[in-house]
Amino acid sequence: MISVTTVLILVVLAYFYRDYFTAMPTSNPLVNTQGEDEKPVVEGKFTPATLVRFNGSDDPQILIAVKGKVYDVSQGASFYGPGGPYENFAGRDASRGLAKNSFEKDCLTPIDQPLDTLDNLSKDEQEALDGWEEHFSNKYPMVGRLNNEN
């Protein structure tokens, strides 16, 4: 008889076993199994005024900024493209909106004003924002940084 506990233990072991082996090749710098079909990361410099062009309306390339890093979210056009649920963030610094889980316009700093310093966020909001930063850095290529001026 295989008990429920045995099954659970096997499931947990299988989970870590898989993680162990999938993690090995990428952690070995000599074995580069990925990278060949990955787009090169171009370190770009953006200001709020130059970022807004990538809001999905003219150019199919959609960029958003989170904590000063600019991500190419073109693959998520269904989220950020025109008519998408998060289109408000396209071409903009999304940091405050993500931190506060808000699409409110006043979470977006006008593009002719200095960057949001984010220094009045609560601890919870900071943590939410850090979680989003992790999400974006894992999912999308970072293509540059957002500064007040180039």
Ligand X SMILES: *[C@@H]1O[C@H](CO)[C@@H](O)[C@H](O)[C@H]1NC(C)=O
**Interface ranges with ligand HEM (CB under 6 A):** 73, 76, 79, 86, 97-98, 101-103, 139
Is the CB of 80 or the CB of 132 nearer to ligand X?
80
Query: Of ligand HEM, ligand X, none, which one does residue 145 interact with (CB within 5 to 8 Å by kind)?
Result: none
Which of 55, 73, 76, 140 contacts ligand X by CB under 6 A? 55
Checking 117-126 for CB contacts under 8 A at 24+ apart, the result is 118/67, 121/96, 125/99, 125/100, 126/99
Among 44, 47, 52, 141, binds ligand X (CB under 6 A): 52
Q: Are strands 63-66 and 44-46 parallel, antiparallel or unpaired?
A: unpaired
The verdict on 58 binding ligand X (CB under 6 A) reads: yes
Task: For residue 56, count other CB atoms closer than 10 A to its CB.
Answer: 21
Cα separation, 99 vs 131, whole angstroms: 9
Q: Among 14-22, 36-44, 49-57, 136-144, which window interacts with ligand X (CB under 6 A)?
A: 49-57
Binding mask 118-147 for ligand X (x = CB under 6 A): --x---------------------------
Q: Say which residues have a Cβ less than 8 Å from residue 119's Cβ, sequence separation at least 6.
A: none
Alpha-carbon distance 107 to 95, whole Å?
8
Q: How many residues bind ligand X (CB under 6 A)?
A: 8
To ligand HEM, the closest distance from the beta carbon of 25 in angstroms equals 25
Distances (CA, A) of 95 to 41, 63, 86, 112, 148: 21, 13, 13, 17, 15
**Interface residue list for ligand X (CB under 6 A):** 52-53, 55, 57-58, 91, 116, 120
